[in-house]
Structure 1
């Protein structure tokens, strides 16, 4: 049907059919195909001179670009969509675009720019009726930026709002996001035991919902907290469990972050060659996606590993030979944490 509409030059049908098909492709995990049909929708809408259709297509395009780690392209789409929303007076659409823009700035390590966009989104959402789901996404991104800038009290407060709103709406994924954000803020403030308590809650909830895209960030945060505590074996297991899940969901920024954490653990253990290998993987992902923060961490890790050379106690037994267990069987890295919240 879409092919026939294209052949006959029926641009309105092409745009509408493409927009209708995109969510089905997304649900099936066909990200490249989703991207292709949304491009068709945007091109057809542009030929029609229909700003509402073009905005919908560009806003939709930003999401698969983000999942593919093509942050610069996603940011450009979101900015174009924002311009169209503002021209047509679409507050809800503009807020959605600003939410995406804030998330992209976070991925690029541009946290002040992220906060500016996210605050604008919250102001617009306060003037619309449909607030809860989008507001939670904005708040989650805001907490991430606040924690990265060392504004720990604000990040905690923002994450608690995400948890509260998610519980009221019956949204377990949002609650996992809020709990992980709270753990991130505690970890950034050096309160590592409090961070582990929140991660235990988040992990239990994420396992109940059986969503790999919800559990992977929790495991990634576990790896970082365990590394800070010097619990290297547990950090490695959590990190590799996260990477196992990330093979099923495309999240290049998170994948790069996990490789950097695992690389740092190996360096802490004097296993410099292994550490450099993970940092090199993070570097490649970060370069491809334009992730400045993870690129800086990867380059620093590579330089550190090369400066120290191979340590005399290079361990062979700590790199898992097989993939960690699926979430439903409690990955080893945090099974104990979920059962024993006091570390």
Structure 2
């Protein structure tokens, strides 16, 4: 093959050259040089334009750290959490809740559709909860959940909301203004290297965090409320990763947030149109299919197809996870890869292999 391998996975995504170059630049010492604090503040200001929220913390760790930190900082012994789930990552929140001494009540819906809003309403009427967790884009199944009706219910019942938007933030609108803790990550729609989790945190969430006896040091969000103002961070920050994220956010803002969303929509539509032409079926219902990742049903063939696409076509895709490992083939059209020429090359390759 005379073309470079094409990484079309739903994270980590391909990293543009400008981002790689910025990561390799000399960096200030984040522990002793004041230039770092100014850089960190400037980066959070830029991220605020993507988030639509200006109270942000950037943690030195992959996106899962953000999920754990949200739970670790909001849940203690005796707290009850409603874990709203229609997939693997929604279920995973319940594990974190129990790890930190809370009682997890999981409200499940089928993985092919969206969140069951009626079931959520029933759970909220039947019991009291301190926190509710949910996932915006369930990456393993390519499902995008409509969060608005659920967030309205949680607001009515004074329940704090924690949302995993790792695979959607920066690729499609996220109602961050209605979310108490909204979690993103560098390696998905931002197309920066793995290693950073970005969280927006509401005033109500901060109040709960500061009243919680947190059972972790690294996952404790408490210091982040004043870190930039006090010029003290709880651990040495991964400054080269932050520089890469800064460059990635510059690219996103230069293109324009709305234009980026439109590009993701166009890439997703093309992927699914080509899939229909090839004879592939979506795993999730079409009305909840995510703009950032498409999951195709390929019963019992996903790992074989993944290997052949990589070896014969130079295209790297992801399979499903857990029970769907060999039944779902996933195309990640997110971030830098949400481009029609890349989708065309990917779908041509799938067509030839099939």
Normalised to the residue count of structure 2, the TM-score between the two structures is: 0.29
Normalised to the residue count of structure 1, the TM-score between the two structures is: 0.29
Structure whose CA Rg is larger:
1
Structure with greater strand percent:
2
Structure with greater helix percent:
1
Instruction: Kindly indicate whether structure 1 or structure 2 has the higher relative contact order, using CA contacts under 8 Å at least 6 residues apart.
Output: 2
